[in-house]
Amino acid sequence: MSEYQYYEFQAVDRPLTADEMRELRAVSSRAVITSTRFTNHYEWGDLKADPRDWMERYFDAFLYLANWGTHRLMFRLPWRALDPATARLYCRGEAAEARVAGEHVILEFDSEDEESEWWVEEEDESLSALLPLRADIAGGDLRALYLGWLLCVQAGEFDDDEVEPPCPPGLRRLSAPLEAFATFLRVDRDLLDAAAAGSANA
């Protein structure tokens, strides 16, 4: 199988300026670039820029997938929408990380599975299915952050005595974006079901 990588960025809170679009175009001559979106795929080579840097400077959401099993998702939110301490309570590993960049909190979720057969036929729809989660998080729905914590547990990043963050309500009834999130990041369903059952019995 040949190499394949897909990159998609979206700007939500403000459109890109003409100067910013020119800066992005200087990095890639093939990408589709609009005032709110950058998309490109590579069958050889890769993006000649650091997605983390672009998230700090230009964009509010980012999705990456590669056919060797890497799936990555990032959201950028202002402090007023997500307290950094709350973000770090859940996203405190490598599979799910929260960091502060200026006046924003950036959430990063990573899943690695070389044996995975999960794929998308229409990659252009991938980030659109997940983007509503950013507004949900800003509105106080922390289920995506808790799924990020479960992803770290699944990756074996924590010791047995690791303190579990508060389990938000509604894990038994995931929205369509949360289902897409769990599928994209390959969160173990048995682990999720056990967490939901534990929350219901608390």
What are the tens digits of pLDDT across the range 97-124? 999 999 999 999 999 986 655 455 455 5
CA distances from 17 to 49, 132, 194, 199 (A): 19, 24, 46, 45
Give the CA dihedral 47, 48, 54, 57, nearest 10 degrees: -150
The better pLDDT of the pair 201, 51 is held by 51
pLDDT exceeds cutoff 60 at 145: yes
pLDDT for the residue 50: 97
pLDDT for the residue 124: 53
Sign of CA dihedral 81, 134, 29, 65: positive
On whether the CB atoms of residues 63 and 126 are closer than 8 A, the answer is: yes
Mean pLDDT of 141-161: 94
In the chain, % helix, strand, coil (3-state, to 5) comes to 35, 20, 40
Strand 96-101 with 37-42, pairing: unpaired
pLDDT per residue as tens digits for the range 44-61: 889 999 999 999 999 999
pLDDT for the residue 117: 54
Instruction: Give the pTM.
Output: 0.92
pLDDT for the residue 197: 87
Sole residue written with tokens 């950036």: 106
Secondary structure letter of residue 121 according to DSSP: S
What is the spatial distance between Cα 195 and Cα 202, in angstroms, rounded to a whole number?
11
Instruction: Write out the two tokens for 175.
Output: 């929205």
pLDDT for the residue 118: 47
On whether the CB atoms of residues 71 and 78 are closer than 8 A, the answer is: no
pLDDT exceeds cutoff 70 at 183: yes
Q: How many helices (H) and strands (E) does the chain have?
A: 8, 7
